[in-house]
Structure 1
Amino acid sequence: MTARAVPVASVTLAEAADAFLARRDLDTDTLRSYGQMLRRLRRDLGDTLPLGQVTAEQAATVFTTAWDDAAARTWNRHRSALRSFTAWAAGPGRGWVTTDLAALIDRRPEPRDRTRAIDRHIVTAILNRRDVALREKTLRRLLYESAARADEVLALNIEDLDLDNKRGRTTGKGGDIRWIHWQSSTARLLPRLIGGRASGPLFLADRRPAPARTPATSDLCPNTGRGRLSYERAEYLFKQDTKQHDPRRRGYTLHQLRHSRLTHLAEDGWSAPMLMALSGHENIRSLAIYTNVSTEAVGTALAQQDPARRHR
């Protein structure tokens, strides 16, 4: 006897989201990004709402409420995730949705900003603040020293760390395993952050998750029961803590720590291959946008090479 197909009208938002995220073709970074968008939809619209009843207007309202003040890059990332989810749910064998849920969500322009790198002195001030919790202090120091993607660092587990050699094993874009490296300042903070834990996520959320939102076992600490710190939460706290340093008063993003580190190392004379090895870039052209040397560095270099200066 063949199994009866699940009626389209009975597929809830929660069921569709869980099935979408259970796909084996999603790498760690993509899974985390998609999960952020779907968790917000479920929270605002309800797990039991049939997916077929979700409208483009409702989706647009959720986006405006959640990410209207976010950077264009963040807005577009979540929009892309929604479009992928909609296309999958409407695909062959499913037909759970017939509406383009992203139809009323316009893509926002992402202007190329040559001033995204944070000044070295400001970075130092941010990383040396004494009024920041140990978790945030360690995360931000590790992000800057390693020039790694925030998703990669937040995905680290304690068992991935090689503390003696100041490095950690993580999964990069495309599912490739690579090592990220840090320096002595991070090395001094990590043992304090880890405490007596032997396994589980390195960076933990503040509280245990609610029973209805329990994450995967791999994202739970076996000692405390707390889940992995989310990108959204880490980004929010960083923006709040850096508003006083940012002339725009919006606060800096976690990505700017990576951008700044690569820019500063380029100014210090690091070669492109060395920068690629540190950051995990596989294409030198994609690395170029992170290594825009500052106006001040250009001026200093020219002054040092000025023939007239040598005769003074």
Structure 2
Amino acid sequence: MPAVLLLPTGKALTVRTAADAFLDSLANPNTVRNYGIAVGKTADRVGEGRPLASVADDEIGEALELLWGSSAVNTWNARRGAVLSWTSWCTERGYDGPAVPAWAKRLPPPDSDTPVRSKMAIDRLIARREVHLREKTLWRMLYETCARSEEILDVNIEDLDLAGRRCPVKSKGAQPKVRRRGAVRADYVLETVFWDAGAARLLPRLLTGRTRGPVFVTHRRPGPGKMLSARDVCPDTGLARLSYGQARALLDQHTALAGPGTGWDLHEYRHSGLTHLGEQGASELMLMAKSRHKKAENVRRYFKPSPEAIAEVTSLLAPGDARR
């Protein structure tokens, strides 16, 4: 007869106790090993000695983003799925605890189509009165720069060239560098992104009264237990840098029509901006320069000439006298 594990209830149940109990309940050794990576690292991130009931949903989402937000889609989905199984297991047994937030959603496979939002839909969303100036500015910058969300969120005020409508961003390099013993390290390089009149009008309003620190900050000061680097805190207001998870949750809040987690994704601004440029006839080389992709095949999905452009090029095939 298998041993019965009696667990404390309520706030006496710690994160580590809940994690260990969940992993002990799994029969398949391979599942234990794979789930152990996700659950163990997430528990460490949120604080394994804390009462499980004190952990908020968003803390689980933030931990997932920090640990695997830049990983491959399949890795993100696997780690998220393991943590979701853990939190669901706790809920089913009546333990007070967090859930995986709706904004930390499962990502579509790499070969699926990312939605392209129309320019009109993007303009209408940003123009809505209930949308805060911070979100308006972030979304406009993401669309006009076609930059990755993490790159824009990492920008500080000191980096901005407001007159030139540009700034450097820390981007992943084209070639990973190999450390000793064969370990691979992602290399980062500084690259320049450019924005247009929309973001240029919003940025000065957003930065009123601030000259240093993160461009995009939270509306509340971080709690006493949250450790942040000096670069991630505004020295004038004490507000922390807006995280990717928080930014994604805010976008979902304003765009979800079928419940939490069904709204737009931040990556759709980059995808839509590049697609619109391709539709307007931007060359493949210009799309590569704008997106900073290193391989031509990665930008070909955006190379979608408009019907007018196709009609114009088709006219070149007409008989010589037809074009006179």
TM-score, length-scaled by structure 1 = 0.63
**Could you tell me how far 1:302 is from its partner in structure 2?**
4.8
Separation of aligned partners in 2, 1:205 and 1:259: 26
Find the counterpart in structure 1 of residue 141 from structure 2.
142
CA 136–248 in structure 1, closer or farther in 2 if over 3 Å, else same: closer
Find the counterpart in structure 1 of residue 276 from structure 2.
264
Find the counterpart in structure 2 of residue 232 from structure 1.
245
1:216 aligned onto 2:229: yes
Letter in 1 for 2:212: S
Letter in 2 for 1:143: L
Letter in 1 for 2:129: R
1:161 aligned onto 2:160: yes
**Could you tell me how far 1:243 is from its partner in structure 2?**
2.3
1:277 aligned onto 2:289: yes
Find the counterpart in structure 2 of residue 151 from structure 1.
150
TM-score, length-scaled by structure 2 = 0.61
Give structure 2 stretches of 5+ with no counterpart.
1-14, 17-38, 51-59, 83-105, 174-187
Separation of aligned partners in 1, 2:169 and 2:124: 28
**Could you tell me how far 1:127 is from its partner in structure 2?**
2.4
**Could you tell me how far 1:38 is from its partner in structure 2?**
9.2
Separation of aligned partners in 2, 1:38 and 1:148: 33
Q: In terms of mean alpha carbon deviation, does 234-243 or 254-263 score higher? A: 234-243
Separation of aligned partners in 2, 1:110 and 1:276: 23
Q: Deviations over 1:214-238 (max 9, x none)?
A: 2111101101111100000101111
**Could you tell me how far 1:208 is from its partner in structure 2?**
1.0
Separation of aligned partners in 1, 2:261 and 2:48: 36
Query: What do you get for the CA RMSD once the two structures are aligned?
Result: 3.9
Contact 2:221 2:239 in 1 (8 A): yes
CA 39–188 in structure 1, closer or farther in 2 if over 3 Å, else same: farther
**Could you tell me how far 1:132 is from its partner in structure 2?**
0.5
Give structure 1 stretches of 5+ with no counterpart.
1-11, 14-36, 50-61, 84-106
**Could you tell me how far 1:113 is from its partner in structure 2?**
3.0
1:76 aligned onto 2:75: yes
Contact 2:73 2:107 in 1 (8 A): no
Contact 2:114 2:268 in 1 (8 A): no
Separation of aligned partners in 2, 1:282 and 1:306: 30
| Rg larger in structure | 2
State which of 183, 187, 196 in structure 1 corresponds to 2:200. 187
Separation of aligned partners in 2, 1:109 and 1:38: 25
1:241 aligned onto 2:254: yes
Percent pairwise identity: 37
Separation of aligned partners in 2, 1:115 and 1:47: 36
**Could you tell me how far 1:178 is from its partner in structure 2?**
1.0
Find the counterpart in structure 2 of residue 41 from structure 1.
43
Letter in 2 for 1:41: A
Contact 2:218 2:239 in 1 (8 A): yes
Separation of aligned partners in 2, 1:147 and 1:108: 20
**Could you tell me how far 1:119 is from its partner in structure 2?**
2.2
Separation of aligned partners in 1, 2:288 and 2:270: 12
Separation of aligned partners in 2, 1:195 and 1:137: 15
Contact 2:252 2:260 in 1 (8 A): no
Q: Deviations over 1:268-309 (max 9, x none)?
A: 0111221122222122222234x163xxx655555666779x
Q: Deviations over 1:143-175 (max 9, x none)?
A: 000000000000000000000100111111131
CA 74–219 in structure 1, closer or farther in 2 if over 3 Å, else same: farther
Separation of aligned partners in 2, 1:108 and 1:201: 28
Q: In terms of mean alpha carbon deviation, does 262-271 or 234-243 score higher? A: 234-243
Contact 1:160 1:168 in 2 (8 A): yes
